[in-house]
Amino acid sequence: MKKIIFTILILHLSLGANIYNLKPLKITEDITCVIGDFHPPMKTNNGFVSNMCYIDIGESLVVLDAGPTYKFAKEFYNLMKLQYPKHKVTHVVLSNYHDDRIQGASFFKEMGASIVGHKTINNDIQQNQSKFQRMKNILPKDVFDGTKVILADILVEGGYKIKGTKKTLEIIKPSLVSEEKSDIAIYSPEDSFLFVGNLVFNGRLLSYKTTSNIDGWIEALENLASMDVKYLLGGHGKEYDKNSYKPTLEYLTILRDDVKKAYEDEIDIMDVKKYVHTQKFNYLNHFEQLNSANISIYYNQLEWK
């Protein structure tokens, strides 16, 4: 009886120590994900703003993105071990180089996992060190403690496969550059499941960056759509049905076509927003701020081509 009470007490204390209190979402029998907050990193969400998953490939697990902090990764790992106490994490696949996706990688490295990313990811990390100050400046010290940025061990292109005893995962590079050069998707044929990272946004508007390529992003989504999978989960948002990519594709297509026409018609950048018909997406979080920025960035790309 005393042993039972002690076990319950230890469990209670360990749960109480959790910062993120992750809620698992089971996509298929072998795939479990957690859904990030729709807002930018802040104290209230402790930097957890992106979706991550783990996949049982047969006696071992593959993790899709490592999360924003060392402590997040540790809690994510503990969540996996509740379901798979005997499974080892062999690989962590980073869908791009952003801080909300890679900063937990060092924890998994300590657990013996190989860190996998696109062949451009280490260059992206090394050339954008200032981007990894964001969480450090925002999050409380006790949340950020232990977090550090490490490089990927295995650099891949499209077609790289991770083989388990019951299924094989494939890394897909659907276009040369989309939101970032390092964007990749992870495909599980046996589950008819695609994890596409920042190629797809739901629940909040996408962020088009100076490093983005709108034609490449649209090409990537069209290529992924042609696979006709049953489940497609993006990096943001809780939707994971086969059509979850469509709002992102439609928004990007309107953004490209309308901004390009306005530019060709010599509409001044201060007025171009009036000619871009993306207002139908104003139900998405942070629409006004991000839509204006997206329009300006793409217009400037056209101007400086």
pLDDT tens digits, residue range 264-302? 999 999 999 999 999 999 999 999 999 999 999 999 999
pLDDT tens digits, residue range 18-76? 999 999 999 999 999 999 999 999 999 999 999 999 999 999 999 999 999 999 999 99
Any idea which of 2-6, 253-257, 299-303 has the lowest mean pLDDT? Answer: 2-6
Are 100 and 36 spatial neighbours (Cβ–Cβ below 8 Å)? yes
- CATH number for the domain formed by residue range(s) 21-303: 3.60.15.10
Q: Which has more confidence, 305 or 25? A: 25
pLDDT at 17: 74
pLDDT at 300: 98
H or E element that contains 88: strand 88-93
pLDDT at 117: 98
The yes-or-no verdict on residue 14 having pLDDT over 90 is no
pLDDT exceeding 90 applies to what percent of the chain? 93
Closest CA to 175 of 229, 222, 209: 222
H or E element that contains 163: strand 161-163
The yes-or-no verdict on residue 7 having pLDDT over 70 is no
pLDDT at 286: 97
> What b/e readout covers 248-276, taking b as 16+ CB neighbours within 10 angstroms?
bbebbebbbebbeebbeeebeeeebbeeb
The yes-or-no verdict on residue 15 having pLDDT over 90 is no
Q: Whole-prediction pTM value?
A: 0.93
221, 94, 75, 205 alpha-carbon torsion, rounded to 10°: -30
130, 132, 136, 139 alpha-carbon torsion, rounded to 10°: 130
H or E element that contains 27: strand 25-28
- Residue found under tokens 């550059």: 177
The yes-or-no verdict on residue 11 having pLDDT over 70 is no
pLDDT tens digits, residue range 207-252? 999 999 999 999 999 999 999 999 999 999 999 999 999 999 999 9
**Cβ-Cβ contacts under 8 Å for 33 (sequence gap 6 or more):** 24, 25, 27, 51, 52, 53, 54, 64, 233, 240
pLDDT exceeding 70 applies to what percent of the chain? 95
Q: Cα 22–238–273 angle (5° rounding)?
A: 125
Q: Which 8-state DSSP code applies to residue 204? A: B
User: What are the two backbone dihedrals, phi and then psi, of residue 224, each rounded to the nearest 5 degrees?
Assistant: -70, -40
Q: Which 8-state DSSP code applies to residue 50? A: S
pLDDT at 133: 96
In the structure encoding, which two tokens stand for residue 261, read together?
Answer: 């026409």
In this structure, are strands 193-195 and 185-188 parallel, antiparallel, or unpaired?
A: antiparallel
- Whole-number Å distance between alpha carbons of 132 and 98: 8
In the structure encoding, which two tokens stand for residue 40, read together?
Answer: 């930018």
Average model confidence (pLDDT) for the chain?
94
The yes-or-no verdict on residue 187 having pLDDT over 90 is yes
pLDDT tens digits, residue range 81-134? 999 999 999 999 999 999 999 999 999 999 999 999 999 999 999 999 999 999
pLDDT at 305: 81
Domain ranges of the chain: 21-303
Closest CA to 92 of 111, 110, 115, 59: 115
